[in-house]
Amino acid sequence: MSDTIVIFGASGDLTSRKLIPALFNLYAKGRLPKDSRIVGVSRSKFKHEEWRDSLKESTAKFAGDTFTTELWNEFSDNVYYHPGDIGAIEDFHSLKTFLESIEPEHTCGRVYYLSTMPQLYEAAIKQLGTAGLSDDTEGYRRVIIEKPFGTDLSTAQALNKSIHGVFREDQIYRIDHYLGKETVQNIFALRFANSIFEPIWNRNYVDHVQITVAEEVVIGRRAGYYDTSGILRDMFQNHILQLMMITAMEPPARYDSALVRDEKVKVLHSVRAMSGGDFAANTFRGQYDGYLKEEGVPRGSQTATFAALKLYCDNWRWKDVPFYLRSGKGMSCRTTQIVIQFKNVPHILFGEKTRTPLGNRLVIQVQPAEGIQLHFETKVPDSEMKTRTSTLDFNFQKSIGGSMPDAYQRLLLDAIQGDASLFARSDEVELAWGIVDPILAAWNSPAAPPLYSYETGMWGPMESTKWMADQKREWFDVC
């Protein structure tokens, strides 16, 4: 079967920075069938050639070393543009006619990528249905939907309902680009392709888990979106809960999209609901100090740009093991890491002179220095029985000897090949909102926990360090 990838929102940033470079790289690696077609759709009145020209420069910039003009010319022969307005059904009819004119008869599969403004998702889906573009009798029809998927549980449910009116669940690919990151997929390998970690990956040995997604960047010119979203909607409902699910899930029987997602969903079902004073005790929020001066941010905005949550999974594996989830903008560096903090040894043999060992830590560095480190105690050479922490360090880049592929390559290829394992299912998205919504409501209530200010370029509010210290724990920082 040959494939057509139709991108709605073709003139947007995501298309030029991520989607086309990813498709180009797949082509360069011989993974995208040679006769695949890419069709951009948006309101601008480009001609095919004009769109190709506008993409050439961005692809050269973002595709990396693979870019050559010769390869681009070959690839871009199959890149087309069709002007269209999501609000105009006649544009979808003309798109259908256009697609049929460039596709071989009867055997063509299609992926529709919705990279438009989220407010247009429902309308776009409806129009695809009305124009007969979702009919998959003559080839697969799949739709990829970018985040954010709704702004709360009820909007996500409504969106799911509208999409299900046109596409079956197995045709829907809700993207979370964190799942396309190599190091996130490597958590599956680390946990389920090794025998040494899984026996201790539970409440008997693990003291707590820390998941940090820190960003150096501030919101820049995104105030319009960010101020209504904030850190919980922007990072926790999707990326961070995804990292938590993969860290906490039970092994599925096979690496199969239904089974993997069943196990992930069970983690969300197990998350302990908060009520009353839990929100003040287990949630923490902050705002970087220059936020209110960012262009477009309303005066006195209470939007959080930093949050830390303590969640529990009430199940046999994790009962009473805290999962500390933390993310912020305007922090001291860009790093995403998962720390499994093991319990300390039950008894220290070496007497008073030895400091208390920290307990072993396994650190999964998702980005930017992709790798895995195991921290363990060793004897200080030429000393009495003193110990210090040493590290076994695995570095992905060094081991593969090249750069890591961008997440969108994996995800686009999976969608084309019909593998939804790394995409969010409807129940997953709704359950995640079910966790985030009550926290947002508590933060908007008179009993909201304080919104701490923090200095841009620091590790979030100082009070968050104290918050951990009060629990006899500490954030593991690696900037």
Binding site, annotated residues for NADP(+): 43, 85-86, 147
* Number of chain positions touching ligand BG6 (CB under 6 A): 4
Nearest 5°: phi and psi at 22?
Answer: -65, -45
DSSP 426-464: HHHHHHHHHHHHHHHHHHTSTTPPPEEEE-TTBSS-HHH
370 in Cβ contact with 187 (< 8 Å): no
Provide the minimum distance between the beta carbon of 147 and ligand BG6 in the complex, in angstroms, as a whole number. Answer: 6
Residue 469: CB minimum distance to ligand BG6, A: 28
Q: Which of residues 129-148 bind ligand BG6 (CB under 6 A)?
A: 147
Within 184-223, the residues that bind ligand BG6 by CB under 6 A are: 215
The interface with ligand BG6 within residues 153-182 (CB under 6 A) comprises 177
Alpha carbon distances (Å) from 23 to 13, 41, 72, 419: 15, 16, 11, 17
Q: Which is nearer to ligand BG6, 181 or 361 (CB)?
A: 181
The full length of the chain comes to 479
Q: Are 191 and 251 in contact (CB under 8 A)?
A: yes
3-state secondary structure of 133: coil
Tokens of 458: 């620091």
Q: Is the CB of 99 or the CB of 440 nearer to ligand BG6?
A: 440
Distance of closest approach, residue 421 Cβ to ligand BG6, in angstroms:
19
Nearest to 416 by CA among 164, 18, 110: 110
d(CA 125, CA 143): 9
Task: For residue 163, give both structure tokens.
Answer: 């999409």
Q: Which residue in the shown chain puts its C-beta closest to ligand BG6?
A: 234
| Token couple for 206 | 């693990």
Instruction: For residue 471, give both structure tokens.
Output: 């629990």
> Residue 300: which residues within 8 A CB-CB, separation 6 or more?
292
Cα distance between residue 98 and residue 90, in whole Å = 12
Kindly state whether residue 234 participates in binding ligand BG6, applying the rule CB under 6 A: yes
Query: What is the distance between the alpha carbons of residues 34 and 27, in angstroms, rounded to a whole number?
Result: 7
| 227: contact with ligand BG6 by CB under 6 A | no
Task: For the beta carbon of residue 285, count every other beta carbon within 10 angstroms.
Answer: 26
Asked if 106 is an active-site residue, the reply is no
Q: Note whether 92 and 128 are within 8 A (CB).
A: yes
Rounded CA-CA distance 202/206 in Å is 6
> What CA dihedral angle connects 38, 42, 47 and 49, to 10 degrees?
-40
Least Cα distance to 81 among 156, 11, 139 occurs for: 11
Interacting residues of 61 by C-beta distance below 8 A, sequence separation 6+: none
| Radius of gyration of the CA atoms of the chain, in A | 24
Beta bridge partners of 451: 285
Could you tell me which residues are annotated as the binding site? 43, 85-86, 147, 177, 181, 215, 234, 329
Nearest of 110, 172, 102, 169 to residue 136 by alpha carbon: 110
- According to DSSP, the residues that pair with 310 across neighbouring strands are 324
Of the candidates 239, 269, 347, 375, the residue annotated as catalytic is 239
Is 18 within 8 Å of 61 (Cβ atoms)? no
**Nearest-CA neighbor of 248 among 303, 322, 179?**
322
Identity of the residue, 215 or 370, whose beta carbon is nearer to ligand BG6 in the bound complex: 215
Give the residue numbers marked as catalytic.
Answer: 239
Binding residues for ligand BG6 (CB under 6 A) = 147, 177, 215, 234
